[in-house]
Amino acid sequence: MIADVVENGLDKAPVSRIAKRAGVSAGTIYVYYPNKDEMLQSIYLEIKSLLHDAMMTASGPGADSAKRIRSMWFAMFGFMLENPDMFAFHEIVAAEKLLGPDQLEEVAGMAGDIHGVLGDAINDRTLKDMPMDCVISLLFGPAVNLARRMLSGGSHDLQKADLVFRSIWTGIAR
């Protein structure tokens, strides 16, 4: 499913071809998912959960806020480079806004964990006091863009990633 959506787009990834690639009948897929959108939602949430777990594991409690944030950033960046199809699928499905209220609530819970780490960093004066959406955009937007560039033919130069992170940090840290 992931590869088919990444290669062909959502509209050109029929359940029949997905089933054929998986070596099952389309009917078998419909036993587990009532429709294609629910299958897409389920896979999206699984990827989101894997990314969230990687970030939260990396940011383990006990470290100071600066180390936790750096670890989260590099865990996210590493996840995108190590799982390019999952990353692309995640971006495609997110852009289509296919999630319903229940799925959005689940995603909000994951985001809440990340906001908690960043909120703690604002409260302990590691980060500048600014709105959370600004912190998220400044911190994670460049990681996504750098991963896209590296995956589209650039080298996987971790020195560049470190340079980008340090530059971001200069803008958001106290």
Secondary structure (3-state) at 67: helix
Among 51-60, 141-150, 152-161, 163-172, the range scoring the smallest mean pLDDT is: 152-161
What are the chain's domains?
A: 35-172 (1.10.357.10)
Burial tier of 110 (Cβ tally within 10 Å: 0-12, 13-18, 19+): middle
CA torsion through residues 6, 11, 16, 19, sign: positive
Crossing angle for the helix pair 65-82 and 84-96, nearest 10 degrees?
A: 100
pLDDT tens-digit map of 5-39: 999 988 888 898 888 888 898 898 999 999 999 99
What's the predicted TM-score (pTM) here? Answer: 0.91
